[in-house]
Structure 1
Amino acid sequence: MRKCQLCILLLILISQSYTISHSAVSGAGTSCPENEYRAKKGFCCDKCHPGFKLKAECPEPDKRSECVKCENGTFLEKSNYNKNCFRCQNCNKPHSKEISPCKHDTDRICVCEGGYYKTKLDDYEWECSPCKECGHGQFKTGECNAEQNTNCTCKENHYLADDNKSCKPCTECGKWCKHLCITSTPIPVKSIHPTSPSGTLPPILVPVCACITVVALGVFMLYEGIRLQRKRNRALSTQSSSAAPEDQTFIITVPQDKINESVPFINQPCNPEQHRKLPDCVPREIKAHEFFYFVLDEVPIGRFKELARRLGVSEQNIDRAEQDHRNCKDAHYQMLKVWSDSGSGGGNNVLPYHRIQMFIETLKDMCLVNCADNIENRFLSQDTSSSS
């Protein structure tokens, strides 16, 4: 009986040592290169090229996997180890047409006909919707194309109506009608409280500062008077000590550095160019990268691709941004850059006012009102205040 127990204990120790050594071998090198993947047997195998699917894993390290080309009507765009290819989409939806055929490494590309734009229903389904016309009180800021709807903006002194399809003229003070918020009612004078609130100057500080300014001005004027008197006395004593004969011309030499002081300012010639009227204001430039980074912190990550599509960024540019950038925010930044470069006005790396306003209206169409308000307060409110 004792010998049996010793045998069982020995078998348990041997099995545990085998398990530890096997897990150490299989766990060695937990990561594979980018063009390889970890096979079921525990070592790295090479991936299949785009347009090919995996038929059999590599039998051992340094051996190639067996890959076969995707069948007609299917595709795989990236290097992979999938055992099945994706089926190409069909351009059989109403008002859609094909512009690029299905290939083994690229999907079929479908667009909408003129007068329609592509609307995403989910990650896979879409349809062609008719382009909208700008409503009453609006003007067009972006043309309708195959990827985005017509963009409309309210005219000056108008605000968006409740139906989000037209704009109404401003008749009273409100968020979009701030120019009507000026009141002629005099501001009531409040009594001075003994304890002044933080951030305001004590009432006694104003007369004290005024007295100090008057005293300083008086001391300066007294000093200048004494200095001029001494200078005048010195000049008179010099003239009396070296008096010239009556028939001799008396020449006074003025130092070069005093010539400009003796010439009154009113005798200087007037340059007509100086009287040209300057512009009332200089519009505030909004840097594109400053706007992009603010938007990346405001818009939810899960809604960003939808926002890019609504702004007119094509599916190819969205996929390219995701392929070129592993970091999610870098990919979203690239999508915003494509949208910015597709617009007009503003100059290099500068966004014009109407493009940002169009961006905000798009967020509101997506029911992201809070994001739209934060962006508006950050950029459009400052722009308005700087130009008023």
Structure 2
Amino acid sequence: MMAGRLRILLLLFEFTFIFAATLNLVTPKCPVGDYENKDGICCNKCPAGFKLVAECHSEGHRSNCTPCPARQFSDQINNAFQCRKCKTCRARNEVEVSPCRAAQNTICGCKVGYYKNHIDSETVECLKCSRCKPDETEEHACTRERDTVCGCKENFYRVRNKCEPCRNCTTGCSQHCMLEVATEGERQPGPEPKNHLLINLVAGSVVVVLVLLALVVLVTFLATKRFTKKKMPTLSSQTSEVSVESGKHLLIYAEGPPQSICLKAAAQNPVGELELSKLPDCVPLEIKIPELIYAVLDLVPVLQVKQLVRCLGVKDTEIERAEMDHRSCREAHYQMLRVWAQKGSQELGGGRGEMLHRPLLEELLDKLRQMHLGRAAEELETKYSIQ
């Protein structure tokens, strides 16, 4: 029993000794603001704005400190033999806010209209202040320390760094939609909806009137065209009768295009029942071949030109020769149609240089309709005033 008690007392003594030794190691030897030099003597540190010249040599003596020279500083108590060099504001759009002092480094800031962007703990750059977009509102103005803070206007919400109008109640817009619905519920009906209704009625009436006018013009045009087509054969037959009965006419070239010949009948027969005023002033008898060919090439699809010239009687050997002589597809097609025009003019007894006989044009129109190209035929009839 006594042996157990002695063992406990021994353990307590060892623990107390170790605790005291540890406390002695943790407790600093020098007071706050001093430091232990290499000789184990506690020396005082230099205050901010000073540097150490010489350490103390014994207890109770003070270290020798001297102020930092010009363009150098020390911003905290120290035992350094050198002060730090002052900073120079050299960055772009950077200005000096406060000059360098013995206890403070130079303070640099950004120009007005720029803010400080920290690249790392010691490096900064001055960037131009941002401007809020038309659909944004300024929440915090730009300062020298931070950029402008912009938020979305009322009934707008931010999507991918862009303010979008709140048209549909999506996830990011639900609160705005609820606010908009509540606001509309509180509104009292005023004259504005009536004005919108009146404007809509007027606009609708104008549209209806314009549509009706377009229909009237279209119907009038179609009726006039049909009446003209029915009337022209009658006038043509009357003109031929007068031509046979009169026996002789005087052909006079009138002032106008060289491809048009104006006909003025001077009847020597006493029969004068037919009014000559019903005859057209100018009847186109011949057409320029190049002009007609280019008009055909503009109207007929490229893939159907060779089919057309075959229908007009151009031989395959002549088609192949035109393709070999001309690299351009359009020029080859032009040559094929020219072969047809020249051959037709020779069969009709020769032509007037580059002029095409009317029977050849009528043959061309018939072939176009047989190939289901009636639209092209109508365009040529309109161009050359053929009814």
Name the larger-Rg structure: 2
Question: TM-score per shorter chain, which class?
Answer: 0.3 to 0.5
Structure with larger RCO (C-alpha < 8 A, sep 6+): 1
